[in-house]
Structure 1
Amino acid sequence: MDKTYQLSKKGTFGASIKIVPVTTETETNTIKCLEVNGTDELHILPQPTLPDLSNFKFIGEHLENNLVVEKWVSISRDGETVSKYTMWLYKHNNVNYPLRYQMNGYNSLLGSHFDSYIIMYKSFIPSKPDPSIFNIDGLKCESFPGPGIDYVYSFNPMMEFINNYEDHVDSNFEKFKKHHKKNYINKSEHFVRKNNFRQNLRYIHSKNRKNNGFTLSVNHLVDLSNEELKSMCGYRKINNDFNGGQPFPYNKSDFTNLPSEIDWRIAGAVTAVKDQSICGSCWSFGTTGTIEGAYFLKHGERKSFSEQALVDCSWGFGNNGCDGGEDFRAYSWIEKHGLPEEDNYGSYLSQDGYCHIANISNSYLTKISGFVNVTPFDEEALKIALVKQGPISIAIYASLKSLTFYSNGVYYDKDCRNNPMELNHAVLLVGYGELNGEPYWLVKNSWSTHWGNAGYILMSRKNNNCGVLTSPTYVIM
């Protein structure tokens, strides 16, 4: 575990120091001292874990868990925003002990809350700390690799909550808007987007501090609300009834000849990462992905097929355009009508459009003769199918923010579900392998190259994480 120090007397303006194990290409888990110096604008001071109560008013007291608890409140106003800070404390041997501290922010113009957090105090020692705990064990400190104002998140995350400090939020939000060319229609939307950004930024850095083996980062989705993020998960499984696919033909002996890793991008069977945008059309991208792979394996040529044609035209087979669908329903439509290339049908619109498949000659339509359900919950079967048949359409559970803001590493979240009826996002499986001894599936998403590792994620093969093994399919061409 790392240690952080806020030393006010080190240097002219103080310094933030972090003792942390560092692993590079030439060293492994070397304990190092990293230092960020204070500035004239921001002096480094010891970080209190208790707020300054000088402007708080005593409201009253109540009985809680056999303790007489006092309630102290401070309210501040800035334009249309009102922030209410509440401290609960109790006395023991004439000494005040903190119980919890809560902030609630309200925007009177929008009529909604914009922020809320609670700090729980599980232990408190009302005495001066031993000065020796501030010693850094004689280590020679070196500069941190370019954190800028971001050091607040990793060196001193309490600063935001106790000191109401938000310069780091302002700075990062401005960088985010510039990088992703974000323009908001009015002041109200700007306020809402910035608050979404703030909450998601806290989440990203809180997860990264846990060192879970994968890293989250700010991407183009970080200013979206939970409802908007949910709308991008458009895989809609209605029931567990038979979907018309053929069973997967394989035997266990096939498994002995499999390569230790495979990446269909290297072979050329995978097109560039696409962007479904704010439209629940992921099912169409999983479908075109496996067809693009099958076409490459059969003809040795890579083509990009039209998701928009599926969004516009497959309603009669049970799909609902930007409001969700399933790959097998798209396969059934393609068996009957054929699938045009993107160049022939027209660009992806990220919205429901008018179907014009009738305007395209049959010679420009690619047909399939059926599809196969890879044996579910069987890692061996999925690896065999992937090696022999090319990229596979799969469904995953994508409602966790740890996946939304994934950046790199092997992703595993114990809360990621794998029940067939809970899967809500269609993606494309294009490979497998190991990273630092961790087996993974290589998955292509449809949330643009701004997401993940240039549009891809390494998903752990442990415990059917997120449902990769639950509902895989490929087409017969």
Structure 2
Amino acid sequence: MEMAAGLYLVFMTALGLVSGLPPGHWQEVPSEEPVIQTLAEIAVREYNRRSDQDVAYIKLRVTDVRKQLVSGAKYDFSIVLGRSMCKKNGEETPNNCQLHVAALERGVKCNFVVLLVPWLNETKILHQLCSQEDFINNVAETSPSNQDKLSSNTEDELLETLSLFKEFVTTYNKTYQNDEEALGRLRIFSENLKKAKDIQEKDQGTAEYGITKFSDLTEEEFRTLYLNPLLSSQGHRIIKKAVIPKDPPPAQWDWREHGAVTEVKNQGMCGSCWAFSVIGNIEGQWFLKKGSLVSLSEQELVDCDGVDHACGGGLPSSAYEAIEKLGGVETEQDYSYQGRKQGCSFSTSKVSAYINNSVEIPKDETEIAAWLAQNGPISIALNAFAMQFYRKGISHPFKIICSPWFIDHAVLLVGYGDRNGTPFWAIKNSWGTDWGEQGYYYLYRGSGACGVNQMCSSAVVN
């Protein structure tokens, strides 16, 4: 009898059922204890068995664990559950089930009371009470002082990513065809969070990188939909050199302050940045020569430029030539932007601006500043490496990761200056005002960052 009692005591101690506490007293227990994780798995199986859902729910975390010594041990704990992508298959849930996108909105929180009687090899679920709740919002508001920490870093990162993804979907009004696509976008979003962090750590400027409206796109998708690979080709039309002013440029200049820049536009999912860059330049040139700022048509170039490739990319030098041959540009109002190539419907009777020629501006950044301050905004092209996740500040990637020889995006240079001693170029982009600083990109000035000085040009209006 003494040996049996000794073995019983060892068994009870191993399970954590022997303590200095009197029977009936509740004791808090860490959720990481193996016995708790085992009981949680039993509880989740019981939830799935009783549930009328056709999909399995999986454990996200265990909280609020306490133990009471009775005739055995009674455990009281809560489990946060999320809907998985797995169909229910008997009582067992596959170990590799992935979280369903529906869990971004609603989860399930269950309270269980389980009786464990080890000498009878018996486990009974005495109580189960579950309720739906917006657990993502609850997690976002949780602090370690009033909530158990997640049992592992993986779970912590998952819940943080889910919370950020939910906010991203709401902020940018994202919609997906089905749950499988949404889950795929969630995976891409998670990887992009890491990429943005890596770019942030390597940046030499003051820029902030993070979540943007492009955070659910792969790098290949982003390049295909929004950038312009033709800018790195060798098919540039040779245009004459611009005359550079002899006087040094002023310390700062911004054509937005002088009325030469229209509102930020949005090219949509079309690689037509070349058209927006050129049209922005012509708008500025027309204003400076004719005194009238008119929003002109990018769609005219997308439809009617027979040399360039519409949403497949194009070259500013070819676009100037196309406008000269057409005889001018219609207004945005008369020839509105559609974001896809259509049949050319240009009418000479609706021309609101024209150009006489075009010029190439040298690569020296001091000369670029001097020409810009005297003559207006400049069509430029650059490497958009850092722009997918750019939020604000002065971007300054290392040259080795933002090569000046790989140009893939055309934009409009509208000014320059410095912020707290850091020199910058002010660049008007064509991705809408919900990107960057109200649609603008600020890039370090003076080092040829990202090839900002490699392809500078302007139309000429007499």
Tell me the TM-score normalised to structure 2 length: 0.65
Q: Shift of residue 150 of structure 1?
A: 11
Aligned to 2:344: 355
Q: Shift of residue 259 of structure 1?
A: 1.3
Alignment of 1:264-279 (within 5 A): 264-279=255-270
The yes-or-no answer on 1:186 pairing with 2:178 is: yes
CA deviations over 1:224-247 (Å, ceiling 9, x no partner): 122220121125136446623121
Larger mean Cα displacement after TM superposition, 319-328 or 174-183: 174-183
Contact 1:149 1:168 in 2 (8 A): no
Aligned to 2:330: 340
Identity level (%): 33
Pick the structure with more strand per residue. 1
SS in 1 for 2:277: helix
For 2:449, give the aligned amino acid: N
Aligned to 1:381: 367
Aligned to 1:173: 165
SS in 2 for 1:193: helix
Aligned to 1:394: 380
For 2:259, give the aligned amino acid: G
Aligned to 2:131: none
Contact 1:283 1:425 in 2 (8 A): yes
SS in 1 for 2:334: helix
Aligned to 2:252: 261
Aligned to 1:79: 85
Aligned to 2:228: 234
For 1:362, give the aligned amino acid: S
SS in 2 for 1:335: helix
Aligned to 1:281: 272
Pair 178,335 (structure 1): closer, same or farther in 2 beyond 3 Å: same
Question: Within 2, Cα distance between the matches of 1:454 and 1:394?
Answer: 19
Question: Within 1, Cα distance between the matches of 2:414 and 2:227?
Answer: 20
Q: Shift of residue 220 of structure 1?
A: 1.1
SS in 2 for 1:312: helix
Question: Within 2, Cα distance between the matches of 1:372 and 1:174?
Answer: 48
In the comparison of the two structures, how many residue pairs are matched?
328
Q: Shift of residue 403 of structure 1?
A: 2.1
CA deviations over 1:230-272 (Å, ceiling 9, x no partner): 1211251364466231211125x322xx211011111111111
Question: Within 1, Cα distance between the matches of 2:273 and 2:143?
Answer: 36
Aligned to 2:319: 330
Question: Within 2, Cα distance between the matches of 1:463 and 1:210?
Answer: 16
The yes-or-no answer on 1:319 pairing with 2:305 is: no
Question: Within 2, Cα distance between the matches of 1:148 and 1:263?
Answer: 41
Question: Within 2, Cα distance between the matches of 1:209 and 1:159?
Answer: 28
Alignment of 1:399-438 (within 5 A): 400=385, 402-414=386-398, 415-419=401-405, 422-438=406-422
For 1:233, give the aligned amino acid: L
Q: Shift of residue 151 of structure 1?
A: 9.4
Question: Within 1, Cα distance between the matches of 2:296 and 2:427?
Answer: 19
SS in 2 for 1:417: coil
Pair 387,162 (structure 1): closer, same or farther in 2 beyond 3 Å: same
For 1:179, give the aligned amino acid: T
Pair 342,269 (structure 1): closer, same or farther in 2 beyond 3 Å: same
Contact 1:429 1:444 in 2 (8 A): yes
Aligned to 1:215: 208
Aligned to 1:224: 217
The yes-or-no answer on 1:444 pairing with 2:431 is: no
The yes-or-no answer on 1:370 pairing with 2:379 is: no
Aligned to 1:48: none
Of the two, which has the highest radius of gyration? 2
Pick the structure with more helix per residue. 2
Q: Shift of residue 365 of structure 1?
A: 4.0
Q: Shift of residue 370 of structure 1?
A: 0.6
For 2:388, give the aligned amino acid: T
For 2:270, give the aligned amino acid: C
CA deviations over 1:330-386 (Å, ceiling 9, x no partner): 1001111111111111x21111111101xx24353422111000012x112201111
Tell me the TM-score normalised to structure 1 length: 0.63
CA RMSD of aligned residues (A): 3.1
Aligned to 2:147: none
Structure 2 spans left out of the alignment, 5+ residues: 1-27, 29-60, 65-82, 88-95, 101-138, 145-149
Contact 1:159 1:165 in 2 (8 A): no
